[in-house]
């Protein structure tokens, strides 16, 4: 049986998450650049790049960008975008990066593209791989959900219509994971079949995540609460870890 992340990031993912826009990515990259303090032309890995919004914006700023994702469907979408030929697109597993030691000046992992696996040691392995492909003193950004915010803002059920489809999303916190069950229903039965997907992300606290980073020998310089907040607070929407390899 395939893991959920091998099933969920396909054609239907494009429908469920199509609202994520390039303008937002450009704003986020503008902020990230000031945090990373990179030289012009620096080599940046966008790890779990999805449809490539941030990879494309980073390339527009003059960086040498590699976008990597497990999903060939999402990478194929990324390659269709204007300017995609400036980026090296790579398909692969984040636990075993197909890159040389010290290849990158920076690695970014954005919008909770982390915590997908069952065991903590698998997540540590991801962080160790990030460290391995960073040059000494290379910089990283890992952008993760903030558990207290998730717990207070979780919507157990939402639904919407999009392009002749009804999309239902059911969410819960269970066994230390945030779980989402997505059901996609065609408005007319003859237009297609009911499809269902599960997503599951480990709900790491700030202290838990900091411990994982230390175990992987990644040093945290600061934690931001969003792309518009300087410092993390308990009620911040995000935990954005900014730091370097040591």
Judge whether residue 17 has pLDDT over 90.
no
The string of pLDDT tens digits covering residues 31-76 is 999 999 999 999 999 999 999 999 999 999 999 999 999 999 999 9
Tell me what the pLDDT averaged over the chain comes to: 92
Q: Which pLDDT score, from 0 to 100, does residue 50 have?
A: 92
Least confident among 2-6, 89-93, 114-118, 203-207: 2-6
- DSSP, res 210: H
The string of pLDDT tens digits covering residues 207-216 is 999 999 999 9
Phi, then psi, of 234 in degrees rounded to 5? -55, -35
The string of pLDDT tens digits covering residues 91-111 is 999 999 999 999 999 999 999
Residue 21's pLDDT band (cuts 50, 70, 90) = low
Q: What residues pair up with 220 in beta bridges, in sequence order?
A: 243
Judge whether residue 188 has pLDDT over 80.
no
Give, in degrees to the nearest 5, the angle at Cα 81 between 19 and 62: 105
> Are 171 and 192 contacting, i.e. CB atoms less than 8 angstroms apart?
no
**pTM beyond 0.75:** yes
Residue 9's pLDDT band (cuts 50, 70, 90) = confident
Q: Which residue has the higher pLDDT, 162 or 102?
A: 102
Q: What residues pair up with 159 in beta bridges, in sequence order?
A: 168
DSSP per position, 2-48: --HHHHSSSHHHHHHTTT--HHHHHHHHHHHHHHH-PPTT-EEEEET
Q: Which of 243, 183, 235, 215 is nearest to 12 (CA)?
A: 183
- DSSP, res 86: G
Residue 164's pLDDT band (cuts 50, 70, 90) = confident
d(CA 10, CA 46): 19
- DSSP, res 236: -
């Amino acid at each position: 049986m395939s893991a959920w992340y091998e099933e969920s990031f396909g054609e239907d993912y494009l429908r469920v998450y199509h609202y994520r826009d390039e303008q937002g990515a450009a704003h986020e990259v503008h902020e990230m650049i000031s945090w990373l303090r990179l030289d012009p032309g620096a080599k940046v890995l966008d790890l779990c790049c999805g449809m490539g919004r941030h990879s494309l914006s980073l390339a527009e700023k003059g960086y040498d960008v590699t976008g990597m994702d497990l999903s060939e469907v999402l990478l194929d979408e990324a390659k269709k975008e204007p300017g995609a030929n400036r980026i090296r697109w790579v398909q692969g597993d984040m636990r075993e990066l197909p890159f040389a030691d010290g290849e990158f000046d920076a690695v970014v992992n954005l919008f909770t593209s982390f915590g997908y696996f069952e065991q903590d040691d698998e997540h540590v392995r991801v962080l160790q791989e990030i460290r391995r492909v960073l040059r000494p003193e290379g910089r990283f950004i890992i952008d993760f959900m903030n558990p207290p915010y998730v717990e207070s803002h979780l919507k157990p059920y939402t639904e919407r219509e999009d392009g002749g489809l009804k999309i239902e999303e059911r969410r819960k916190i269970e066994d230390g994971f945030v779980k989402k069950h997505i059901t996609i229903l065609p408005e007319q039965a003859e237009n297609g079949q009911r499809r269902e997907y599960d997503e599951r992300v480990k709900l790491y606290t700030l202290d838990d995540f900091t411990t994982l980073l230390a175990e992987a020998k990644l040093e945290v310089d600061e934690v931001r609460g969003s792309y518009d907040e300087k410092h993390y607070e308990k009620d911040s929407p995000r935990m954005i870890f900014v730091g370097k390899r040591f």
